[in-house]
Structures are given as structure tokens and as C-alpha cells.
Amino acid sequence: MLVIDDAIVAAVPGRVAVTVRDGLIESVGPAGTVRRADAEVIDAAGCVLAPAFAEPHLHLDKALLGGTASSLQGAIAQTALRKATFTHADVMDRAGRVLRMALAAGTTLVRAHTEVDPGVGLVGVEALLQLSEIVAPYMRVELAILPQEGIFVRPGTLDLLRTALRNEGTVVGGCPYVEADVDDARRHIDTVLDLAVEFGRPADLHLDFADDAADARFALASYLASAVMSRGLQGRVTIGHATSLGSLTPAALALVADRLAAADVAVVVLPATDLFLMGRNDDRDIRRGLAPIGALRRAGVRVALSSNNVRNAFTPSGRADPLDIALLAARVSYAATRADFEEIMRMVTIGAREVIERGAAGVTPGARADLIVFDAHDPDQVILDQPARRAVISNGRLVYQEERRRRWSAWSLENPENPAA
């Protein structure tokens, strides 16, 4: 049993005590009313308690590679050269360092998009499967198997994709826009969704990544929505980036957004990468290159935010902190009102979590006890203030405390049960 006492929770009057048992929130009541000799008690001291973060679109296998590129194609090509040098130990090391950052930031759930192709083979998949077992006491890591360089343009990739999907709990990834033409891009989508049906898994596609939809390979959102519904995969498919949606006229966007909403396709917006790589060919009136968060939300599309890449050719910055991404998204999506900031916060907490797993979420009875205690006293100011994380709870277990952050920096992957080793 765990009790977080004297906490402030958004939309709950007064200070509260949250009781956790067997990994679930059992009760939320007035502060000071729960005292059990057999309970571990965290004194929140009037600080904000909120749902933990989730990262539904994070590339661990190619994190911390360094480098920079001035185009998407350049980033893919540069990373392809680096992938040829990947080893199991190398991927484990870099990915482990990012997960330590993520945990200290308050992230307890990750979908790691992990690449397969004839060059890298299954190195990243095997390394991250092992790493996910090591970090399981602290956070849950799910792998989306990603054919980043294409399926049909890279013969042999489909076999690797099938092999990787034999691992339980994996997700079918996709990247149709890298195929040679629009027909193969559609075939890529169909193949990914057919695999989702065959293996009984969700699908998560890098659907498009362009400034506009002049190239038909970057105008397949409606096609995907229809393909999802024809297979009965509503609520099981996510798309990332989808930047070309930002170039559509309001009327055209409304049609696409309505189709995505009808198919219950979630959209994950990745502002750190999208702002860095889009608009590179514009010499004036430079486009932001972001999926239109507000329009998608108004149409009823589920929208989440994530970090995508951390310090590589796609995104030279980043610290695996969803609160940092939330502030960036707020600044570039015209967030101004209290409701705007509440929705942005939801996109990195409950909304991001729902992309990976459905079910009760938040600071409410019956929800999984994945929580953050912020060093802040006003829930409305958390995004703006970017406060420290005083404590992180994962599955009802205290997994990080600010007072021990220096010891946690030495967390050993070889001795995962003793993070202060």
C-alpha cells in the first residue's frame, strides 16, 4: 500500500490523499485522512500530483547519435550509414541513457519505434527487447517494428518485420512515404494493416512527413482511414507526423479529419522534429510543418504529443522530457487559455497513454497508479514553470525521488533492481 498525502490534483478541490494498492489507485480523499502503519507514505507537501507522462513515439535505437541534416531525406541517409555500425551493446547503452532521462522526467510508458531493414537486421529489436525487460520494474517499453526505409523498396524487410512481430506485445510500424510511388505507398499501408489483423496487434505508421501533399505519397490519410474501417481496426491505429495535413484548405482538412475521427485513428504530433525539418525549401513565409492540432481536436480526433528523436540528425536537441515538448507545442499552436493548456497537458499524459493502452487513466480510483509529484503548487502553471519532478510512481511503486537524483544518475543496467548501484 502506498499513500501520497497532502497533494494538489487538478479539478479536485482542496488537498487530497491518494491511496494506492496493488498498482491501482484505490481512493482519492481529503488530505490527512489515511494513515496506515503498513503503508509507504509520500508527503507531497502541497505539491501538484498528476498522471505520469507517456511517450507514444520515441526512437530509442537511433537516439544520441549526434549529427544534423537539412532535410528528411538527408536525415534518413545519414542515419542509414550509422545503422550499419549498430551493435547490441551500443543500442542498449544509448537507449538506456535516454530511458533514464525519461524516467527522471516522469515517463512510465514508452512506445519505441525500432527499425528493421536488411542493413541493420534485428539488432535494434533484440537490444530493445532485452532492455525492456531490464527496465520493467520502473517503466513499460513497447516496441513498434518500423520499416523506416520502406518495405517494397528494400526487399527482405517484410520478412524481418514478420520475424520481429513474433515477439509478443510488439506493434506493426509503417512508413509508406518512402516507397517508390503512390501505388507502393498504398500497398505499404495495406500490408501493415493486414499484418495488424494477422498478428492481432495495433498499427502505428509514420504516415507522411512533408510540407504539403503535392506528392500523392503524402496525401494518404483518407485512404488509410478507409482501409482501417474496412478491416475493423478502429481505435487500433495511430499515425505520426502527418505534417502535410497542415497544408490543406479548411474544407479539405475537415473532410480528412472527419474520416480519421470516424476510423478512430489517433494522431501523434512531434513538434521538436517537425519544426526542425519542415519548411526547409521555403525562402520566405516559412511553413511550420505541423499537423493542425486544433482542427484535429475539434473534429474529434485523438491527438497526443511525443518527443520522437533525441539528439540525432532528425532532431539535434531534446532531453526526453514531455513537459518540454508540451511547452513547445503550446507556443506553436496558439495556446493561450486555461483550457488550451489543460488540453496540451492531457496530450502528454492521459492522451499519450491512450495511444498505447486503453483503460482508466488519471488521478482517479481504478486507474493504474502511474503518477508524478511536481515541485509546484498550481496545476495551471506546470507547463509554464517546467518544475522539477519530486517523485515518480510507476505501477504503484515509487521509482524516482528528486532527493536521490544524483544516485539515480548512476543507475546500472547490469543491476536494475538497485538503481543506486
Tens digits of per-residue pLDDT, 109-151?
999 999 999 999 999 999 999 999 999 999 999 999 999 999 9
C-alpha cell at 396: 504503484
In this structure, are 343 and 386 located in the same domain? no
Q: In this structure, are 188 and 292 located in the same domain?
A: yes
Domain membership of residue 159 as a residue range: 53-356
Same domain, 369 and 261: no
Model confidence pLDDT, tens digit, residues 65-93: 998 888 888 888 899 889 999 999 999 99
Q: Does residue 421 lie within any of the structural domains?
A: no
Contacts of 83 (CB under 8 A, 6+ apart): 62, 115, 117, 119, 120
**Is residue 330 predicted with pLDDT exceeding 70?**
yes
| pLDDT of 407 strictly over 60 | no
Nearest to residue 111, comparing CAs of 132, 82, 90? 132
Residue 406 pLDDT class (50, 70, 90 cuts): very low
Of 157, 167, 211, 164, residue with least CA distance to 188: 157
Q: How far apart are CA 299 and CA 64, in angstroms?
A: 36
Does one domain contain both 88 and 112?
Answer: yes
CA angle 135, 137, 140 (to 5 degrees): 60
Of 168, 165, 147, 143, residue with least CA distance to 156: 147
Residue with cell 542515419: 79
The yes-or-no verdict on residue 94 having pLDDT over 80 is yes
Of 323, 338, 356, at which residue does a domain stop?
A: 356
Instruction: Give percent helix, percent strand, percent coil of the chain, each to the nearest 5.
Output: 40, 20, 40
Total number of domains in the chain: 2
What are 309's three cell numbers?
528523436
**Residues 80 and 101 reside in one and the same domain:** yes
Tell whether 414 is covered by a domain. Answer: no
Out of 296, 327, 356, pick the residue that ends a domain.
356
What is the C-alpha to C-alpha distance for residues 123 and 117, in angstroms, rounded to an integer? 10
Average pLDDT over residues 344-372: 95
Give the model's pLDDT for residue 418: 45
What single letter denotes the amino acid at residue 35? R
**Which domain CATH number covers 380?**
2.30.40.10
Q: Are residues 263 and 391 in the same domain?
A: no
Question: Domain holding 339: CATH number?
Answer: 3.20.20.140
Give percent above pLDDT 70 in the chain.
95
Domain identity same for 322 and 380: no
Structural domain includes residue 325:
yes
Band (pLDDT 50/70/90 cuts) for residue 409 is very low
Same domain, 329 and 185: yes
Cα–Cα distance for residue pair 110/104, rounded to 1 Å: 14
pTM, whole model, 2 decimals?
0.94
Q: What is the number of alpha carbons within 13 Å of residue 50 lying toward its C-beta?
A: 30
Confidence at 404, pLDDT banded by 50, 70, 90: low
Claim to verify: residue 350 and residue 380 sit in the same structural domain: no
Residue 188 is which amino acid?
H
419 part of a folded domain: no
Q: Backbone dihedral region of 8: left (phi > 0), alpha (psi from -120 to 50 degrees) or beta?
A: beta
Q: Mean pLDDT, to the nearest integer, of 332-341?
A: 95
Q: Is a pLDDT exceeding 70 seen at residue 307?
A: yes
72 and 211 housed in the same domain? yes
pLDDT digit string, tens, across residues 263-293: 999 999 999 999 999 999 999 999 989 999 9
What tens digit of pLDDT does each residue of 155-180 get? 999 999 999 999 999 999 999 999 99
Grid cell 507526423 in the structure block, residue: 241
Q: Find out whether 91 and 61 touch, Cβ atoms under 8 Å.
A: yes
Instruction: Give the model's pLDDT for residue 413.
Output: 47
At residue 421, the pLDDT reads 32
Mark whether 154 and 17 lie in a shared domain: no
Q: What is the mean pLDDT of residues 95-103?
A: 96
Do 314 and 336 fall within a single domain?
yes
- Look at residue 34 in the predicted model and tell me its pLDDT: 76
